[in-house]
């Protein structure tokens, strides 16, 4: 069940270039939320645009709930300027969650898709579950995590300015010698090209893999049917309601990579 909650900004910080982490006091949602889920945010009380802005939860700390975002347009610009104490209207928790299995988790994030992997990373750390975290970006100033292969923190930059030179696939390749990929499960969220690249590797090599998709959302809780993704055809007739097209907000955002036809939505 989802709630509408008037949360309050507790802290706000620029953790990397144009990347902000905000904590909100939201006693209802923070207690219920699981990693992989998201909230749908009203960027300002008088927000005139017809849609809220969906944001993955980046972590919880008691009654505090975190989001990490990049300022890319009118909604996130307002969020960047949130003052401590400001009221923020939230709907959540929304969507499904990551499904951690027996296999070793490899978390892969990039761009605005770092939040749900960061949440899972901290959860696993707290539970003492051994895992890898691979983060990709164009250049150094977009990273906020240390690069430490020993700690299984693998940062990648397209321009090689920090950590591994290359994208997250290169990052993944660097651990192929350490660990058999048939014994791992990937948890992926990031820009569409990144997710698509990982999806191809995962499906091609039959690696277990979950991907958290993103798309435009009007509601975030299943009433508009706007947020569709397309399932891989499973042979049966797909000419049927929610068999061919799934709703990212309800059937996802987390999908099994094998089910996803394309990450470009």
Partner 1 sequence: MLKVKLGNTEFDTPILVASGTYGYGNEVEGLADVSKFGGIITKSVTRLPREGNPPPRIAETAAGMLNSIGLANLGVEGYCKEKMPFLNELATKIIINVAGTTMSDYIETFEILEDHGGNHVGYEINISCPNVKEGGMEFGVSPDMTEELTKELRKRTGRLLIMKLSPNVTCIQDIGLAAEAGGADAVSAINTVVGMGIDVKKRAVKLHTIYGGLSGPAIKPVALACVHKLSKVLSIPIIGLGGISTAEDVLEFILAGSDLVQVGTINYKHPDRGMTICDELIAFCKENDLSNILDIKGQLDK
Ligand X SMILES: Cc1cc2nc3c(=O)[nH]c(=O)nc-3n(C[C@H](O)[C@H](O)[C@H](O)COP(=O)(O)O)c2cc1C
Write out the residues near ligand FES by the rule CB under 6 A: 217-220, 222-227, 247, 249
User: 10: closest CA among 74, 46, 61?
Assistant: 61
Judged by beta carbon, residue 35 or residue 215, the one nearer ligand X is 215
Residue in this structure with the two tokens 């090689």, named with its chain if needed: 160
Q: How far is the CB of 35 from ligand X (least distance, A)?
A: 29
112 near ligand FAD (CB under 6 A): yes
Q: Does residue 27 interact with ligand X by CB under 6 A?
A: no
- Only one residue has tokens 């069940």, namely 1
For the bound state, the minimum distance from the C-beta of residue 225 to ligand X, rounded and expressed in Å, comes to 6
Element (H, E) at 178: none
Q: How far is the CB of 150 from partner 1 (least distance, A)?
A: 41
Among 216, 223, 224, 243, binds ligand FAD (CB under 6 A): 216
CA nearest to 5, candidates 24, 26, 34, 33: 26
Question: Total number of residues binding ligand FAD (CB under 6 A)?
Answer: 21
If contact means CB under 5 to 8 A according to the sort of partner, which of ligand FES, partner 1, ligand FAD, none does residue 160 touch? none
Query: Minimum CB separation from ligand FAD for residue 222, in Å?
Result: 13
Residue 58 or 215: the one with the smaller Cβ distance to partner 1 is 215
Side-chain-side CA neighbours of residue 254 (13 Å) = 21
Nearer to ligand X, 50 or 62 (CB): 50
Q: If you search the block for the tokens 């706000």, which residue do you land on?
A: 12
The greatest distance separating any two alpha carbons of the chain, rounded to the nearest whole angstrom, comes to 53
Q: How many CB atoms lie within 10 A of CB 240?
A: 8
Residue 56 Cβ vs ligand FES, minimum distance, rounded to whole Å: 14
How far lies 44's CA from each of 40, 80, 112, 172, 245, in Å?
12, 11, 20, 39, 32
* 147 Cα distance to chain centroid: 20
Mask for 114-133, x = binds ligand FAD (CB under 6 A)? -x------------------
> In Å, how far are 115, 150, 173 from 153, measured between CA atoms?
15, 7, 14
Find which of ligand FES, ligand X, ligand FAD, none residue 215 binds, CB within 5 to 8 Å per kind: ligand FAD
H helices within the chain, ranges in order? 27-32, 74-80, 114-126, 168-173, 192-204
226 binds ligand X (CB under 6 A): yes
Q: Report the SS3 class of residue 246.
A: strand
In whole angstroms, the minimum distance from the beta carbon of 103 to ligand X comes to 39
Binding site for ligand FAD (CB under 6 A): 38, 53-56, 67-70, 72-76, 112, 115, 214-217, 253
Binding site for ligand X (CB under 6 A): 224, 226
């Amino acid at each position: 069940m989802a709630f509408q909650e008037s949360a309050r900004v507790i802290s706000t910080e620029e953790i990397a270039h144009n990347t902000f982490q905000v904590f909100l006091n939201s006693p209802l949602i923070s207690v219920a939320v699981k990693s992989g889920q998201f909230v749908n945010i009203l960027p300002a009380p008088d927000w005139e645009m017809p849609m809220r802005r969906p944001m993955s939860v980046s972590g919880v700390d008691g009654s505090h709930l975190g989001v990490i975002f990049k300022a890319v347009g009118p909604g996130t610009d307002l969020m960047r300027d949130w003052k401590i104490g400001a009221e923020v209207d939230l709907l959540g928790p929304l969507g499904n969650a990551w499904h951690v299995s027996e296999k070793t988790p490899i978390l892969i994030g990039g761009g605005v898709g770092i939040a749900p992997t960061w949440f899972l990373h901290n959860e696993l750390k707290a539970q003492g579950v051994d895992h890898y975290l691979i983060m990709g970006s164009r250049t150094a100033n977009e990273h906020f995590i240390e690069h430490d292969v020993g700690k299984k923190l693998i940062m990648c930059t397209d321009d090689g300015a920090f950590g591994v030179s290359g994208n997250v696939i290169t990052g993944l390749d660097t651990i192929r010698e350490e660990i058999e990929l048939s014994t791992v499960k990937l948890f992926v969220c990031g820009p569409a090209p990144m997710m698509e690249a990982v999806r191809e590797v995962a499906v091609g090599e039959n690696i277990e893999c979950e991907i958290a998709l993103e798309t435009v959302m009007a509601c975030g809780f299943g009433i508009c049917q706007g947020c569709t993704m397309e399932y891989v055809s499973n042979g049966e007739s797909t000419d049927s309601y929610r068999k061919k097209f799934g709703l990212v907000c309800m059937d996802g955002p987390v999908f099994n990579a094998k089910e996803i036809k394309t990450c470009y939505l």
